[in-house]
Amino acid sequence: MARRWGKKQPAASPPSSQAPPQSMSSDDPHAQEEDLIAQRIQEDQGWVRVQKRTFTRWVNENLKTTEHQVESLEDDFGDGLKLVTLLQQLAGKPIGARVTKKPRIRAQKLENVKICFDFMNREGVEMVNIDNQDVADGNMKLILGMVWHLILHYQIATGFTDDDGSKGGPKNRIIKWVNSKINPWGKEIKNLGPDWNHGDILACLVNALAPGLVPDFAEMKPENARDNIDRAMEMAKEWMDIPRVIEPEDMMDPNVDELSMMTYLSYFPNAKVKDGAPCVNPGRVIARGPGITGVGLKPGKPAEFEIDASKAGENGRDKVNVEVIGPDGEPVKVDLNNNGDLTYTGAYHPEDDGQYTVKVTLVNCPIPKSPFKVGIYGDTRLDVSKVKVEGPGVTGEGILPGDVAPFTITYKDAGRGQPKVDVYGPDHQPIHVVMDNDKKEGVCKCEYQPGVFGEYTVAITYAGLPVPNSPFKVPIKPTVDINKVKTEGPGLSRCKVDEPTWFKVHTAGAGKGDLDIKIEQSDGTLLEPKITDDGKGTFKVDYTPKMTGNYKVTINYGRCKVPKSPFNVVVVPPGDAGEVIVNGDALHGIRVGMTGKLFVDASKAGKGDVKVVIIGPDNKPLEQGLEIIKSVDGVTEYGFTPECPGPYVFNVTFSGHPVPGSPFDTTVKPALDIDRIKLIVDRNNPPRINKPYKFTVDCSDAGPGPVLFGFIGDEDNDNPDKPRKDILVIVCDDKGNPIKDKKGKPITIDVKDLKNAGIAHFTFTPEIEGPIYLKAQYDGKDVPKSPMKVNVSSGIDMTKVKVYGDGITNDTPVRANKPLTITIDATHSGAGPISLDYPSKLGYTIGKDNEPKDLKIKIVGPNGEPMTCDVKKRNDKVFEVTIEPELVGTLNVEITDGLGKEHAPKSPIKINVKPSVDASKIVIGGDGIDKDKVPRKDKLCVLDVDAEKAGNAPFSIAVNGVDKTPESSKKPEKGKPKKPGDKKGDKPGEPDKDSPDQSRPGFGPDGKPTPGNYIAPDGTIKDKDDRPVKGKDGKPLTCALGGRGNPKEPKTDDNGNLLGPDGKP
């Protein structure tokens, strides 16, 4: 006895017979379904074993793309998880309820299975004699019944339809479909049992869908039944992806389980043949010639013909066969020649008058129009041109699917013979023709009934010869544009039993046609609707469902199915609890003292009462804590304020029936101590424009976690299916309005929750300068120090950036080719972490998206060229900059903000770079110094100065003569300076007449040269302060540079070392 959820009936006693009956009612599909269940679900273990194996394989076929597989139907569905996955795979949509993913106790498992039953009820899968306890308890027979209903609803119902309007249950539909495929091949079935035992029917079906896969089905012998079935199943699996859910031995059984057979056969209608399958296409074989048409043939003369199989596929090579049966029923010899190119020529030899039957097959597959009926007569009075054919049945004029298509054949003047008519539909299948032949008058009235739109073929012969214009191509065309027909209304989707419902059909612009409505109730009976025509092309259809279940509404206009027809309509009981939607943050774990929201939407459930009962931690119903806030248009809003922590259960019913998901389990957490919640900011790092700013909310000491954090503006705050946030943060102005970006949208806040620590970091990027307020609220109340004011500044305070180090604040001399270090300290600049843009060897570094950094350093050498440096980050605000100058002179160091507009104090900074030299390593030799070299008067005196190991720096030489007048010279490294020649009139030991004042630059008060004098590259003599040394006449003193090679300009290698005339350092 069929029933719905919650109305369990005692199971029927199993019949005493060992072999279950094989027949089912063919008149009433609902009764037929009940017969199947009654006969199968409660019988001996033989069918249970077969069904269990078949249904398990069917389930796993539908689960193969998931992580689940089923080994035992009675055990694996018990917790509901795999059943949930199976239903979602079959329906192609989520289950629509919260499932316990790790059920440990029986109540959780029962609830999961109940969710599945609720879903099947909404889908229109009507269960019988089973509830969630049966599944959890592993009742094998009832679970098999449940799986069978899933197969019926999701696979059989979609594969086998009754588009032609015929009635009958799934069994009859399968039989009819199979016969439609195998009849053209000379096979027919009457059942789903013994007819399949030998394997030839299954092989014929496979070959009919994929000609050539099993071409020898007609020769299969019953004694090879298992091999026949196994071969057909394997070909179907390999080339059509039809799984072997049933064993060959099961199909061989005379008492084969019909439900298992129906399950296996349900894969065939939608099967697709894979590319590369060894198939042929008999439909592309052409037979022609007098031996096929009969034109010009007479007894005693060869009847020649040609067969062209060149377009039928290579797999058909050498597999064309021609058989001819004479008027007496005896075979006629056929001569068939293979031309080698997939074409054939042949002939047979008719001896007697009469009709000959010519059968042409390709791998045992009949080609189109085969067998051919060929009339051969020796009577010269036969004149087929005098046969007249007329009527809409051969023109198609005014004929629609379902209409009778009549035509008349008049042959009284054509001579001896009789007409023969064959009609083929658009699918090339033969159609029954009714013929009323009046031989005395020579008139034959014919009619056939086209079932669908398309081109029909009417082939008429007289005495075996085609009549004029035969075969007739008859188009059956729609008279309306069906795509312009629109439908709407609740009566096409979901409605309630005994409540009037409706839908509309809009036909304006589609053309004129008849509207045909068929409403089939869940038991297969038809419901008569009321159709109202408004005269403007819109029809309103009213009907009142009389029973629950799945209805099918078929709408035809102008004999054409409207888009989406037939419509599957689910009719549910009045006051349908399955239509109630429950959500709200009260179901997701609020805290003690908070008021959570519970929304119950019964607007689509019909008439009925909503009842909410809350079971507290003490397992008793709460007497207080739940109140109705408002109720509008069937949606009721409740407020729930728990007084103690622990587990709670919400039982929500509608008219006494649990709504989907009920009961709802939740846990109320203890309240947080708001006085222990901390709002923390880093005062040393105030917010700056276009820079991320972080602050923290710390609830670690306020109470047990986990704590849920959020911010105002997060769309999840308004989602009733999301847990309520314990802490809400808002960045606002002094009036509490959220801060917005330059585009006027609320700024985005990123939340980094430290999970169970009870701490969260909030980060945002302000875009506007000025004061802002940070607010943190618990249950709508500000936490201590909230709101907290912070000021957004434009950037770093350059006046508080400190610069110190070598050559700036210490006495360490800066030498050429020696690294110097300066420190940039922005600790007190008022900014957060600092970035520095500096000239590396790869060029200036820049920020993300080419944005400028906070600070920038620029270095220019003594020669005016930019220099590079290395930077080491001591912390977020302190940098050590290392520079290695190569030239003597002044370094210019600029330290500015990232845009180069504002300088740090002391910037630009000038650093004096001095030579790097060791005078003790200078070796002097030559005239007057070496013992064997004595200087002579009026002779050039040459001194050798070797400064190779003294370092790269200028040096000075002072030569004191009798008049104490100094002479200076300079040479590059390894060079040897030449002493300037004496001027005419100078006397040794006497002051030069041109001797300058002793206070002039380059000489001390005693007239001796001061240290540091040197010869510049241009020959000018300069003192240590770079001032020209002047003679007594006030003119700068110069020196001619001598030595090997006499270089005019000092040369250096790549490392800056001075080179001598020989090119060596």
3-state DSSP assignment of residue 557? strand
**Residue 10 — pLDDT band, cuts 50, 70, 90?**
very low
CA 387/CA 461 separation, integer angstroms:
9
328 — alpha (psi -120 to 50), left (phi > 0) or beta? alpha
pLDDT bucket at 14, cuts 50 / 70 / 90: very low
State pTM to two decimals: 0.38
Longest alpha-carbon distance in the chain: 171
Q: Which position has the higher pLDDT, 1022 or 84?
A: 84
Q: How confident is the model at residue 15 (pLDDT cuts 50, 70, 90)?
A: very low
CA distance 940 to 927: 9
For residue 367, name the pLDDT band (cuts at 50, 70, 90).
confident
Cα 580 from chain centre: 31
**Residues with Cβ within 8 Å of residue 1001, at least 6 apart in sequence:** 1023, 1025, 1027, 1028, 1029, 1030
Pairing type for strands 515-520 and 549-557 reads antiparallel
Cα torsion for 926, 931, 933, 935, to the nearest 10°?
90
What pLDDT is recorded for position 192? 92
List the structure tokens of 913.
């770079």
Q: What letter does residue 394 receive in the DSSP assignment? A: G
What secondary structure, in 3-state letters, does 426-448 show? Answer: CCCCEECCEEEEECCCCEEEEEE
Gap between the Cα atoms of 254 and 20, Å rounded: 11
**pLDDT recorded at residue 573:** 77
Partnered with residue 495 across adjacent β-strands are: 571
Structure token pair of residue 563 = 């888009």
Nearest to 257 by CA among 36, 47, 53, 54: 47
Least trusted range by pLDDT, from 435-449, 811-825, 859-873: 811-825
The tokens of 915 are what? Answer: 């030579």
Question: What average pLDDT does range 449-475 have in this prediction?
Answer: 91
User: Residues, the chain, total?
Assistant: 1065
* CB contact at 8 A, 271 and 303: no
* pLDDT value, residue 807: 85
pLDDT above 50: residue 586: yes
Q: What pLDDT band is residue 331 in, cutting at 50, 70 and 90?
A: very high
- Give, for 230, the enclosing helix (H) or strand (E): helix 225-240
- In 156-236, which ranges are E strands? none
Contacts of range 106-111, beta carbons closer than 8 Å, 24 or more positions apart: 106/136, 108/79, 109/78, 109/79, 109/80, 109/136, 110/136, 111/80, 111/663
| Model pLDDT for residues 1037-1059, shown as the tens digit of each residue | 766 544 433 334 455 566 555 55
The interaxial angle of helices 258-265 and 170-182, nearest 10 deg, is: 50
Q: What is the pLDDT of residue 780?
A: 87
| Per-residue pLDDT, 715 | 63
Strand partners, 822: 805, 881
Q: Which of 158, 159, 127 is nearest to 143 (CA)?
A: 127
End-to-end alpha carbon distance in the chain? 113
| Identity of the amino acid at 282 | P
Q: For residues 168 and 30, what is the distance between their CA atoms, to the nearest angstrom?
A: 9
For residue 278, what pLDDT is reported?
81
pLDDT tens digits for range 929-954 = 776 777 776 677 777 777 766 666 55
Phi, psi of 890, rounded to the nearest 5 degrees: -110, 125
Asked if residue 308 has pLDDT above 60, the reply is yes
In whole angstroms, give the CA distance from residue 560 to residue 484: 12
DSSP calls for 498-535:
TS-EEEEEE-TTS-S--EEEEEE-TTS-EE--EEEE-S
Phi-psi group of 553: left, alpha or beta (phi > 0 → left; psi -120 to 50 → alpha; rest → beta): beta
**462 pLDDT above the threshold of 50:** yes
pLDDT mean across residues, the chain: 82
Beta carbons of 822 and 805 less than 8 angstroms apart: yes
Task: Out of 29-43, 475-489, 722-736, 860-874, pick the least confident.
Answer: 29-43
